[in-house]
Amino acid sequence: MPLSLQTYIHGEVEEEEEVDGMAPKRYIPIDSLYCSTSPCVSASGSSMSKKIKARKMVVGGGSQEGEGEERPQEALPEKNRQPSIIHVYRRRRFHKKSAPQNSHDLDIGSGLDSSRAAKPIKKRKVSNLLGLGDILDIVLPIDETRLRSRREYNKSSGRPCKKQRMLPTGHGTSVSGKAKRWVKLSLEGVDPHKFVGLFCKVYWPIDKDWYNGTISKYNPEAKEHHVKYEDGDEESLSLLNEKIEFHISNEEMQRWSLCEKKGLDENEMLALALYLDGGDVVHGDIVWAKLTGHAMWPALVMNESHVAEYGGLKPMKGTILVQFFGTHDFARIKKNQIVGFPEGLFSSFHLKCKQARFNDSLEEAEMYLKHGKFPERMLQMQRTTGLDYHDYIIRDEEEKALSSNNYFAEGSMLGMIEGTKNFPVEIKNLHDLPNSRLCLKYYENLRDLPSGYRGVSVGWKELDRCNVCYMDEEYEDNLFLQCDKCRMMVHAKCYGESEPLDGILWFCNLCRPGAPESPPPCCLCPIIGGAIKPTTDGRWAHLTCAIWIPETCLLDIKKMEPIDGLSRIHKDRWRLLCSICGVSYGACIQCSHRTCRVAYHPLCARAAGLSIELEDEDGIHLMSVDEDDADDQCIRLLSFCKKHKQPSNECSAVGYQIAQDVHNHSSYHHPINPSGCARSEPYNFFGRRGLREPQVLAAASIKRLFVENRPCVVSGYCQNGFLDKGPPFVDRVNANLPCIFPKLKAPRNEIHDSIVSMADKYKVMRQTFRKRLVFGKSAIHGFGVFAKCAHKAGDMVIEYTGELVRASIADIREHRIYNSLVGAGTYMFRIDDERVIDATRAGSIAHLINHSCKPNCYSRTISINGADHIIIYAKRDIKMWEELTYDYRFFSLEERLACYCGFPRCRGVVNDIEAEEQMGKMRMPHCNLIDWRGE
Ligand SMILES: C[S@@+](CC[C@H](N)C(=O)[O-])C[C@H]1O[C@@H](n2cnc3c(N)ncnc32)[C@H](O)[C@@H]1O
C-alpha cells in the first residue's frame, strides 16, 4: 500500500507506520475502500466486518466465537472506551518541504512554544500602540532570529520596511519588478485561465506543510485547477477553497493583470497579539468569541463599568461583554467561549470562515492591533450606548434574515423560557440599532406598524424540519423542498407547491425575483423570517400563524395562500402579551388547559419547545378534505404553556385510534426486518409513525372547512362564539387573486452565483465528495466517514449509493448471501417499501456513516430528472474532521441494536424507539383478534 498511515489521537498527529510502495497518496482512494471495509468475506471466509462483530455481540449479549480476543472497543460502553483513534491517510513524510520556504511563515508549532515560554511583557495601552516596527524588538522571543534577520531598515525613518521584511528568503529581498516572490493572488473576478502555468505552493492542513507545484490546466466545468506537484502527485482543486500562494514577480502580475490579494498578515498579527496577550482577559483585549452557530469571531472586550449603558447586556456571572469586529454587535459571551487571540491564530480560526463579514472582521482586528484604531461604525455603536440595546445581532446573519427570509441566531428558545428574566433573555430584538443600514432598510417596512413592534428572531436551525408543520418526516407524495437561496425547508404541500420540481431551482416566495426588497414582517407575530405568505389584505403572515390562529384560514389550500380572515381575529387576541417574547404585537393563542390563560405567539411557542399539537393528530389523515364531508369534521388544535405541557404520547385515545386505523387498512403489512440488520430507514416509511400526514397541512386543509380551536381568548370566551359555524366562506373571487410571485424557474443568469438548483447542487456534491470526505476509524463503531473540510448546515454532503434492488431481493440477499457469509448485517438503505439501496458490494463511502442519537447529518430522498436519490445533508455546521452521523431510525420490533454514539442523552439503542412504540400500539392485542374461519 502506498500510504502513510497516521494516528490522530485527540488532535495530535503521531506517525504510526510508514507503508512503503508506490507513489504517495493523500488518502486511500475511495474506490478501493470496499476491499477493506465491506463485510464481504475474504477467500477464507473468516474476516468479519467490525460492524457485524459489534452487532453480534449485542444480539448475543457477549462476544462471539472467533472474536474473543479482539473485542472491538466500539462495542464497549462509553466510559470504558479508549481515546478515540481516527486513522487518516496523509502524504508521505518524504515529500519535500516547500522550497523555497517562506521565511515569514512562522513555524507555528515551534513558534507557539518558544513564544509561550518567554511571553513578552503585556502591554495594554492599545491607544498608544506602536507600529510593528517599533515593537519588533519586544516580540523577539516569538522567533528572534527570523524576525531579526528579515529586518530591513528604512534609512530615513529607521523603521523596518514592511515590504522588504515580508519577502521570502531565497527569493532575494529586492523589490524590483522582476524578482519573484510568494504572493496570495486575488481570485475574485479574475479569468481562471490566467493561473495556468503558475508555480504555486499549496498548504496541506493535515501535514501543516506546503507543497510546491505548477498549475497545469483549468477545468471550467468543475471550476477546478489541476496542480502537478513537484513530488509527482497531482490533484484538481478549487483555488478558492485552498490556502495557496504563487511564485510570481510584480512584472508578471502586471502583464497578466493579476493582483496581489491584500489580506491578512498572519505573522504580524500573531506577533502583535502575543505582545498584547497575557493573564486575565481585560477590557481592550482582542479575543476570539464564540456564538453558537457561528465561527469563532474576533471581538473586543468591552468595559464592564459602562455596562449600564448597554441595556439588555447587563452583567451576568461568568460572561464577558464583547463587541464583534466586522459586525460591530455587542454580545455577552460565556467565559469558556472566549479564546485568546494568539491561541486562536495558532488554531487557524482566521481560516475557518469564508463569510465576507468575517474577512472584514479580521481586517478590522488587524487594524486595531497595528494602529489601535477602530472603524468609525464600531465607534459609533460604542458611542450610542445610551440606547436600549436589548440584545446583540450578528449583522451578517441579520442580513441573511432580512434578505433571505431566514434567520439563524444564538441560543435555544428552551434556554430562553428558562431564563431568569421575565421574558426570555435570548430573543433578539432588532430595534434600536440605529447605525445599521440593514435595520434602516428593515424599518422602512415597519413604518406602518405600531410603535410597540420589536422584531424577534428565533433560531431557525432545524433545517431538517418543515418550516410550516415542523415535522421532520418526508412523504412519498409530499417531499421536502429547500429554498435554493435561503435554505428554508418546507414540505412541498405544506408550502403549496403542487407541481413536482424534480431538482430544478426553487425559491421560497421571499427569495423569488419580484419579492419585496427586504422581507416583510409578519402581521400576526414579531418573529422574523420563516415561511411567509401574502394575506388577502395585502400584508404578509406566517403560514404557521395562519394555521394556529383560529380565525384565519387559507383561501386556496392547494397553493396555501393567500391568508384570509385577519379582520375576523378577535380584538382581544391582538391585545394579548406573548409570555415568551414579551412583545405585545400580533395575535396570540392561549394555553389549552382549562384554567390557564397564558398567551403566546404560535412560533414563539414552537421555538420555546411548548407543545402545539392536534388533539387527535393520528386521526387527522382520516378526515377528508372534500368540502362535502365538512359538516362531520372537526379538528382541535391544542397548545400548552410550559406548566401544562404534556408529552404528546400520553393521549390514550391516540393508541386506540391507530388500532382502528390498522384494522381499517387491510392493505397494510407490518414491515419485516427479520435479519435485524441496521438498515437505515427513510423518513417516509409508511409504517414507522402510524399513518400520519404532515399534521399541520392536514390541519390547514380541514381548517378551511371547520375549526374548533379550544383556547379561549382572554378568559372563558370560546372563540367559536364569534366564528361562523360551518364552512368558512371561500371567496372565489379572492381566490383568483393574481399570483403575486409566479412560480420561478429562473434562468441561471438571473440569480446569484451561489444559488444553485437542487440538480446543480447534486452535481457539485458528486464531483466534490471525494475531496470533502474521508473514511477512518471511528470512535462510534468500526469505520466512519469524516469531513475533510467544514460543511455548512444544509449542505448536500454525499449520496447513499449502491445497487438499487427490490425489497424482496434485499431480504433474500440478507438471508441467503450476506448472513450466511458473514453472520449478519448488510449496508442497506430502504428508499421505500419497494426499493432498497444495497451498498454492500458497490456504492459510495456513505454506507460507512455511523448512527448517532444527536447526529450532524440527516437523510432525504430527492428527485432529480425523475430519479430518486438518497442524500445525506448536513444538519448543522460541521467542523473539519468531525465524524459524520445521521439517525438511522433503525426499525425492528424483534431486535434492539445497542448504540455507542456517545451522546450524553443517547437513547441507548440505534432503534427508533418512538416509531416502534407507535407500531407496538398498532398491533391488536391477541384477545381482540377474531378467529376467522372463512366463509
Ligand atoms: C452502515 S454500517 C456503518 C459503518 C460501520 N461503522 C462499519 O465499519 O462497517 C452500519 C453498522 O454500523 C454499526 N453502527 C453504526 N452506528 C452505530 C452506533 N451508533 N452504535 C453501534 N453500532 C453502530 C451497526 O452495527 C450498524 O449495523
Residues contacting residue 439 through CB under 8 Å, at least 6 positions apart: 398, 430, 431, 433
Percent of all residues in the chain with a pLDDT value above 70, rounded to a whole number: 49
Ligand 1 neighbour 299 (Cβ under 6 A): no
Arithmetic mean of pLDDT over the chain: 60
Ligand 1 neighbour 859 (Cβ under 6 A): no
Ligand 1 neighbour 847 (Cβ under 6 A): yes
Asked if residue 885 lies in contact with residue 779, where contact means CB atoms within 8 angstroms, the answer is no
Query: What pLDDT, on the 0 to 100 scale, is given for residue 351?
Result: 82
| Tens-digit pLDDT profile for residues 871-915 | 899 988 898 889 999 988 877 777 788 888 988 888 888 888 777
Beta bridge partners of 247: 182, 199
Q: Counting atoms of ligand 1 from 1, which one is nearest the CA of 677?
A: 27
What spacing in Å lies between the alpha carbon of 823 and ligand 1's midpoint? 15
Q: Counting atoms of ligand 1 from 1, which one is nearest the CA of 851?
A: 16
Ligand 1 neighbour 53 (Cβ under 6 A): no
What spacing in Å lies between the alpha carbon of 55 and ligand 1's midpoint? 8
Least confident of 321-325, 736-740, 922-926: 736-740
Residues contacting residue 752 through CB under 8 Å, at least 6 positions apart: 485
SS3 of 507, please?
A: coil
Ligand 1 neighbour 780 (Cβ under 6 A): yes
Ligand 1 neighbour 899 (Cβ under 6 A): yes
| CA distance to 8, 484, 749, 755, per residue, from 752 (Å) | 40, 11, 8, 5
- Interface confidence, given as ipTM, is 0.99
Q: Counting atoms of ligand 1 from 1, which one is nearest the CA of 847?
A: 1
Query: What pLDDT, on the 0 to 100 scale, is given for residue 830?
Result: 79
pLDDT band at 371 (very low <50, low <70, confident <90, very high): low
Q: Counting atoms of ligand 1 from 1, which one is nearest the CA of 38?
A: 9
d(CA 479, CA 476): 6
d(CA 483, CA 817): 43
Higher pLDDT, 704 or 379: 379
Query: What pLDDT, on the 0 to 100 scale, is given for residue 618?
Result: 47
Quick one: which H or E segment has residue 248? strand 244-249
What spacing in Å lies between the alpha carbon of 781 and ligand 1's midpoint? 5
| Tens-digit pLDDT profile for residues 194-235 | 899 999 988 775 565 778 899 999 998 888 899 998 888 888
Ligand 1 neighbour 350 (Cβ under 6 A): no
Ligand 1 neighbour 678 (Cβ under 6 A): yes
What letter does residue 818 receive in the DSSP assignment?
Answer: I
Burial level of 722, CB count in 10 A (0-12/13-18/19+)? middle
Ligand 1 neighbour 848 (Cβ under 6 A): yes
What spacing in Å lies between the alpha carbon of 798 and ligand 1's midpoint? 17
Residues contacting residue 416 through CB under 8 Å, at least 6 positions apart: 424, 425, 426, 427, 580, 607, 608
Asked if the model's pLDDT at residue 764 lies above 90, the reply is: no
What spacing in Å lies between the alpha carbon of 819 and ligand 1's midpoint? 16
| Tens-digit pLDDT profile for residues 797-807 | 999 888 888 88
Quick one: which H or E segment has residue 202? strand 199-204
- Grid coordinates 371561500 are at which residue? 730
Q: b/e for 231-260, b at 16 or more Cβ within 10 A?
A: bebebbbebeebebbbbbbbeebeebebee
Ligand 1 pocket: which of 56, 773, 851 to mutate (most atoms within 8 A of CB): 851
d(CA 607, CA 578): 13
d(CA 160, CA 131): 10
d(CA 471, CA 469): 5
What spacing in Å lies between the alpha carbon of 837 and ligand 1's midpoint? 16
Asked if the model's pLDDT at residue 759 lies above 70, the reply is: yes
- Grid coordinates 463599568 are at which residue? 305
Quick one: which H or E segment has residue 770? helix 758-772
What spacing in Å lies between the alpha carbon of 47 and ligand 1's midpoint? 17
Query: What pLDDT, on the 0 to 100 scale, is given for residue 279?
Result: 59
Ligand 1 neighbour 680 (Cβ under 6 A): no
Beta bridge partners of 480: 491
| Tens-digit pLDDT profile for residues 296-313 | 999 988 876 655 545 556
Ligand 1 neighbour 827 (Cβ under 6 A): yes
What spacing in Å lies between the alpha carbon of 85 and ligand 1's midpoint? 16
Ligand 1 pocket: which of 34, 37, 51, 872 to mutate (most atoms within 8 A of CB): 51
Ligand 1 pocket: which of 48, 73, 679, 850 to mutate (most atoms within 8 A of CB): 850
What spacing in Å lies between the alpha carbon of 51 and ligand 1's midpoint? 5
Residues contacting residue 700 through CB under 8 Å, at least 6 positions apart: 494, 543, 546, 547, 554, 557, 560
